[in-house]
Amino acid sequence: MGKENPAAEKASNLLRSRLCDPNFVVKHLSDSPDSNYSSVTEACNNSILLLGPRGSGKIAVLELILTDLLLEYPDTISVIKLNGLLHSDDCCAFKEIARQLCMEHQLLFSKMASFDDNSQFMIEMLRECGLAHKTIIFVLDEFDLFAQGKQRLLYSLLDAMQSVTSQAVVIGVSCRLDADQLLEKRVRSRFSHRKLLFLPPSKEDMQRLLEHILSLPVDSSLPHAYAVEFNKKIKNILADGRFKEIVNTLVNLDSTVNHLLRFLFLAVSYMDLESGFLSFENFKTALSNSHRQPKLECIKDCSILELYILVCMKRLEVKEQNSYNFNSVMKEYKSIHDSFQTSDYYSRNVCLRAFEHLLQRELICFTDNRGYSQSVEFRPVKLLISSIELHQGLKSYCSCPVILLKLVER
Amino acid sequence: MPAIASHNSIMAVKLENAGEVARSNGGSTPQKRRLRSDAAAVENMSPISTPMKLKSPRRCANSSPNSGANGIEMEINEKLMSARKSPVKKKLCDSFKSKPNWNPQDVEQMSAVREALHVSTAPSTIVCREDEQKKVLEFCKKNLEEEKAGSLYVCGCPGTGKSLSMEKVQHYLVDWAKEAGLQQPEVFSINCTSLTNTSEIFSKILLKLQPRKKLNGSTSPLQYLQNLYSQKLHSSVMKMMLIIADELDYLITRDRAVLHDLFMLTTFPFSRFILIGIANAIDLADRFLPRLQSMNCKPLVVTFRAYSKDQIIRILQERLMELPYIVFQPQALELCARKVAAASGDMRKALSVCRSAIEILEAEMRESVSKMNSASAEQGLFDQQAASAFEFFNSQANNFFLLLVRVDHMAVALSNTFKSPVVDTIKSLPQHQQILLCSAVKFFRGGKKDMTVGELNKSYMNICKTSVIPPVGTLEFFSMCRVLHDQGILKVGQSRDDKLKRVTLKADESDVTFALQGVRFFRNCLQ
């Protein structure tokens, strides 16, 4: 056992670092947009929009391509990155562009430069770089946020690409599918209408990706026999029908690659370091932990009296009493006790304490924000959990009184 | 080409056919012969007109593997016949007679073609805009001769050649003034988006007019200009100035003062401006400059209409004329022009579509080359006959239409440009999000305008109950709504309570129905 421990730890570390590194995943999946390459090599201006839901790897693919390009053509590319959340105001955006250009070319940047100066500077830099055959790549993250307001930045960037003297590429990244409909018509006319859609991977791709990520490299510093055994076990798990069901449940909710990676990370963290192998139970625990239901967990911690109070409030709601307060809940509680002769009947003060507990745990809350002068008993309250959640919580509560279940089911 | 490469027998037959055709046509270069016979065949068969079908040439080639010597000729005639006849095509055919096809694998040719089709290369002569340019030129010439001030407003949709034409007019005017012996006008061209403050335009004009003038604090540039033009000064001091203001609607402020003052500057008694404003709105002059009309100094309006199909084809041809080889099949150009003219008449779009069609052709060639390489590697041995045939085909590659940008490439490029990604995205959404969308569509079909997230949740759970799919919890439901909101398919409003946020459907209902029709469950659900 002692010998396997370091290997297992190493394996787990390796897998975890793989899952955190977007490049590893993306390299396996991607087919890179070649238009970027052509713009650099043939010196023609281009613009492109990358669209796709959040977490589908758009920025990861972009980073991959940029690093490749920088390796291939080290001196002829400069990259300017802007983010719509930070720089959606035109003045800010131009300032940031000027600052990044200054940093790239080791010029001094003055914070006092006006909007005019900054835009002039950008246009001149574009011209200079065009003459020197250097390409400037503008990456606009959260592209749809740039399309608010007067769209001056977008217009000037796209207009600059219409002139022969500049050599630039504008790459917009957005999660809104109609990002190009948000543009004004003259800006849209200058945009070259290329869109790249990032769709979630198909089932076969997903299968291949899982295998690729979870298989240990056979010829690394890990002991050979261990790695081979590990890979064999992984193959068995992946082929298992129950595992496919787990992946299906996961994918039916959110099919982006990011979501899948987070699930895998959880599973790897649960790996049993003693045996050093991933097992099917790890994945099951990971699934249940990634789909947490905080309100259900809250209910599990409630006392029986608190459950009674919740059920009373539910019954009041079902009776279509729109607003009720602690006093009405108490009345209902008493009526239940009278009709069913339950053994759990507590005094009013104890109930009030339980009520306050529920308020603190945010299972119920006040409906009005005023009325601090009134005492707790008179303010209207409402439930913060749905009937289904209450039902599920009661069912999974150990030693729940049968009467409560009956009352809720009615 | 990979299809051909894998059938040795077909290749052998084709070799014979090609050779026979060459021999029967008198031994001149096969390529020229074939094209002339095609043109002749088209003229012969013109009374028969079939509707335009998009048949891929590869299919044509395989459809009659054992036909006789006229097999290839017949197939090519079929292809040409299936396109609709138009007068433009005859001209294209004539121009094609003398040029070879291009070789897309040649990097230089590819970059030359790309450059010719790029938006930034301004052609030396601007076609299809002669009327408008003449109008503007006449106006400017008249004003220059009489040394009068005047204003002109150029309007039109984006991508119709306004800024380009104005640049040409500017050059013509300066040259003409030189030839006619008049004083050369100053030219000041500005794009109004580069102004931080709209009234800066006056200081810029002043800077250009009198570079060394320093104003004291009390007079603004506008006032100075107004004073200047109210008095008569020596004409040698005051040159005529041509101002071209692009994107004029950026000057529109709440009180519309700047735009008004700019145009009013031309109405002063001793003003020396010829102002040309460029914008998109047709009625800008009427809406924002009402006072000018009462003074009888309304600017002359020149409208640049959107390009028609024939104009687009002509412009594309002009650009491609300079290249010594053919790149596009004529039907492909026509399809592109037709579609773009019907949509917006925007020339930039047409150029962009052509460029992406070239890229599709490039990608296809690369794929076929790699497939061929892998196929040959798999086979291991290559027949002697096949090898020589292959070389023959490679050398004669120019003859085949397979290397031109064809109609199917153009169709793919057009669908990429014009299609919205919504349908594809909805098809690839995870299942629960699709159910959510389905329930939203069903709800809104009832005619209601919006709903809350809580109601949507209920409707979603009903659908899940009917189909025995376990619904997701409330937290996940809220995050799914948020994800769909981020993507622009739903719109979720703001509220303190998550359940009370208002939800509206942004994607079109028919798009959702179309996207989900492949799954029987959703089809039944949405009936």
Q: Name the helix (H) or strand (E) containing B452.
A: strand B451-452
Tell me the CA distances in angstroms from A159 to A162, A188, B214, one per residue in order: 5, 11, 33
What are the phi and psi torsion angles at A368 (to 5°)? -115, 155
Q: Which residue of B has its CA nearest to A120?
A: B194
Give the model's pLDDT for residue A377. Answer: 84
Give the model's pLDDT for residue A40. Answer: 58
> How close B398 comes to chain A (CA, Å)?
24
> How close A199 comes to chain B (CA, Å)?
7
Q: What is the arrangement of strands in the sheet containing B150-156, beginning at the earlier edge strand?
A: B186-191, B241-246, B273-279, B150-156, B300-304
Asked if residue B6 has pLDDT above 60, the reply is no
pLDDT band, very low/low/confident/very high, at B91 (cuts 50, 70, 90): very low
User: Which of A31, A116, A186, A291 should one mutate to test binding to chain B, selecting the residue with the greatest count of B CBs within 10 A?
Assistant: A186
pLDDT band, very low/low/confident/very high, at B400 (cuts 50, 70, 90): low
Q: Which residue of B has its CA nearest to A150?
A: B250
Give the model's pLDDT for residue A189. Answer: 87
Give the model's pLDDT for residue B160. Answer: 87
Tell me if chain A has a CB within 8 Å of the CB of B64: no
Give the model's pLDDT for residue A82. Answer: 92
Residue in the structure block whose two tokens are 């990676």: A261
> How close B442 comes to chain A (CA, Å)?
21
Q: What is the arrangement of strands in the sheet containing A324-325, beginning at the earlier edge strand?
A: A324-325, A380-383, A364-366
Q: Report yes or no: B42 and B77 within 8 Å, Cβ to Cβ.
A: yes
User: Which of B198, B282, B432 should one mutate to test binding to chain A, selecting the residue with the greatest count of A CBs within 10 A?
Assistant: B432
Chain B residues whose beta carbon lies within 8 Å of the beta carbon of residue A35: 359
Q: Do B474 and A389 touch (CB under 8 A)?
A: yes
Q: pLDDT tens, B179-190?
A: 888 778 888 888
DSSP B460-500: HHHHHHHTTPPPPPHHHHHHHHHHHHHTTSEEE---SSGGG
Q: pLDDT tens, A13-28?
A: 777 777 777 666 666 6
Restricting to B residues 24-43, those with a Cβ less than 8 Å away from any Cβ of A are none
Tell me if chain A has a CB within 8 Å of the CB of B422: yes
* d(C-alpha B297, C-alpha B312), whole Å: 35
Q: Report yes or no: A65 and A301 within 8 Å, Cβ to Cβ.
A: no
3-state SS, residue B159: coil
Chain B residues whose beta carbon lies within 8 Å of the beta carbon of residue A253: 430, 432, 472, 476, 480
* d(C-alpha B355, C-alpha B363), whole Å: 13
Indicate the range of B287-301, B393-407, B470-484 predicted with least confidence: B393-407
Tell me if chain B has a CB within 8 Å of the CB of A189: yes
What number of CA atoms fall less than 13 Å from residue B76's CA on the CB side?
A: 21
Q: pLDDT tens, A258-269?
A: 888 888 888 888
Question: How many CB atoms are closer than 10 A to CB A61?
Answer: 24
Restricting to B residues 235-264, those with a Cβ less than 8 Å away from any Cβ of A are 247, 250
Tell me if chain A has a CB within 8 Å of the CB of B12: no
Q: Select from B121, B424, B486 the Cβ nearest to the Cβ of A54.
A: B486
Q: Report yes or no: B453 and B499 within 8 Å, Cβ to Cβ.
A: yes
User: Which of A54, A145, A189, A366 should one mutate to test binding to chain B, selecting the residue with the greatest count of B CBs within 10 A?
Assistant: A189
Restricting to A residues 212-251, those with a Cβ less than 8 Å away from any Cβ of B are 251
Task: Tell me the torsion sign for CA atoms A131, A132, A135, A138.
Answer: negative
Indicate the range of A215-219, B70-74, B106-110, B412-416 predicted with least confidence: B70-74
Specify whether the backbone of B121 is left (phi greater than 0), alpha (psi in -120 to 50) or beta: beta
Q: pLDDT tens, B355-380?
A: 888 888 888 888 887 887 777 666 65
The mean predicted confidence, pLDDT, of chain A is 82
Q: Do A155 and B429 touch (CB under 8 A)?
A: no
Asked if residue A325 has pLDDT above 80, the reply is yes
List own/partner pairs for B374-380 with CB under 8 A and 24 or more apart: B375/B2, B375/B5, B375/B6, B376/B5
Chain B residues whose beta carbon lies within 8 Å of the beta carbon of residue A295: 474
* d(C-alpha B526, C-alpha B516), whole Å: 9
Indicate the range of A39-43, A225-229, B9-13, B308-312 predicted with least confidence: B9-13
| Cα A289 to chain centroid, rounded | 16
Restricting to B residues 434-463, those with a Cβ less than 8 Å away from any Cβ of A are 461
Q: Which residue of B has its CA nearest to A190?
A: B348
Tell me if chain A has a CB within 8 Å of the CB of B424: yes
Asked if residue A321 has pLDDT above 80, the reply is no
Q: pLDDT tens, A80-134?
A: 999 988 888 888 888 899 999 888 888 888 777 788 888 888 888 888 888 888 8
Tell me if chain B has a CB within 8 Å of the CB of A195: yes
Polymer length of chain A = 410
Q: Select from B247, B359, B487 the Cβ nearest to the Cβ of A175.
A: B487
Give the model's pLDDT for residue A63. Answer: 84
The mean predicted confidence, pLDDT, of chain B is 74
> How close A275 comes to chain B (CA, Å)?
35
Q: Do B425 and A164 touch (CB under 8 A)?
A: no
Q: Do A255 and B428 touch (CB under 8 A)?
A: yes
Query: In chain B, what percentage of residues exceed pLDDT 70?
Result: 74
Task: Choose the most confident range, by mean pLDDT, from A310-319, B42-51, B117-126.
Answer: A310-319
Q: Do A42 and B114 touch (CB under 8 A)?
A: yes
* d(C-alpha A258, C-alpha A5), whole Å: 29
Token duo for residue B387: 């090898």
* d(C-alpha B503, C-alpha B515), whole Å: 21
Q: Report yes or no: B269 and B256 within 8 Å, Cβ to Cβ.
A: no
3-state SS, residue A141: strand
Question: How many CB atoms are closer than 10 A to CB A51?
Answer: 27
Q: Select from B194, B424, B432 the Cβ nearest to the Cβ of A253.
A: B432
Q: pLDDT tens, A332-377?
A: 889 888 888 877 788 889 999 999 999 898 888 888 777 677 788 8
* d(C-alpha A208, C-alpha A148), whole Å: 41
Q: Which residue of B has its CA nearest to A155?
A: B193
Query: In chain A, what percentage of residues exceed pLDDT 70?
Result: 92
Chain A residues whose beta carbon lies within 8 Å of the beta carbon of residue B425: 53, 177, 197, 199
Restricting to B residues 366-395, those with a Cβ less than 8 Å away from any Cβ of A are none
Chain B residues whose beta carbon lies within 8 Å of the beta carbon of residue A32: none
User: Which of B155, B167, B472 should one mutate to test binding to chain A, selecting the residue with the greatest count of A CBs within 10 A?
Assistant: B472
Token duo for residue B140: 């400017």
> How close B156 comes to chain A (CA, Å)?
11
Q: Do B158 and A53 touch (CB under 8 A)?
A: no
Q: Pick the residue with more confidence: A25 or A46?
A: A46
> How close B278 comes to chain A (CA, Å)?
12
The DSSP call for residue A113 is -
* d(C-alpha B22, C-alpha B36), whole Å: 13
Polymer length of chain B = 527
Tell me if chain B has a CB within 8 Å of the CB of A203: no
Query: In chain A, what percentage of residues exceed pLDDT 90?
Result: 4
What number of CA atoms fall less than 13 Å from residue A97's CA on the CB side?
A: 32
Q: Do A53 and B421 touch (CB under 8 A)?
A: no
Tell me if chain B has a CB within 8 Å of the CB of A391: no
- pTM equals 0.75
Q: pLDDT tens, B36-74?
A: 444 444 444 434 333 444 444 444 444 444 444 444 444
Tell me if chain B has a CB within 8 Å of the CB of A199: yes
Chain B residues whose beta carbon lies within 8 Å of the beta carbon of residue A181: 420
Token duo for residue A92: 């800010």
Q: pLDDT tens, B494-509?
A: 887 777 888 888 888 8
Give the model's pLDDT for residue A353. Answer: 92
* d(C-alpha B297, C-alpha B267), whole Å: 7
Q: Do B425 and A291 touch (CB under 8 A)?
A: no
Chain A residues whose beta carbon lies within 8 Å of the beta carbon of residue B110: 42
Q: Do A186 and B158 touch (CB under 8 A)?
A: yes
Q: Select from A114, A156, A386 the Cβ nearest to the Cβ of B193.
A: A156
DSSP B90-123: HHHHHHHHT-PBP-TT-HHHHHHHHHHT-TT---
Q: Pick the residue with more confidence: B412 or B475?
A: B412
* d(C-alpha B263, C-alpha A229), whole Å: 83
Asked if residue A300 has pLDDT above 80, the reply is yes
Q: pLDDT tens, B188-242?
A: 888 888 887 877 888 888 888 777 777 766 777 788 777 777 777 665 556 788 8
Give the residue-averaged pLDDT of B330-350.
88
Angle CA B94–B97–B103, to nearest 5:
125
Give the model's pLDDT for residue B58. Answer: 43
Task: Choose the most confident range, by mean pLDDT, from A62-66, A219-223, A303-307.
Answer: A303-307
Q: pLDDT tens, A159-196?
A: 888 887 788 888 889 988 888 888 888 888 888 888 88
ipTM of the complex, rounded to two decimals: 0.76
User: Which of A45, A253, A292 should one mutate to test binding to chain B, selecting the residue with the greatest count of B CBs within 10 A?
Assistant: A253
Give the model's pLDDT for residue B41. Answer: 42
Give the residue-averaged pLDDT of B421-450.
85
Give the residue-averaged pLDDT of A40-54.
75
> How close B344 comes to chain A (CA, Å)?
10
* d(C-alpha B238, C-alpha B222), whole Å: 17
Give the model's pLDDT for residue A350. Answer: 92
Tell me if chain A has a CB within 8 Å of the CB of B487: yes
Q: Do B120 and A164 touch (CB under 8 A)?
A: yes
Restricting to A residues 77-96, those with a Cβ less than 8 Å away from any Cβ of B are none
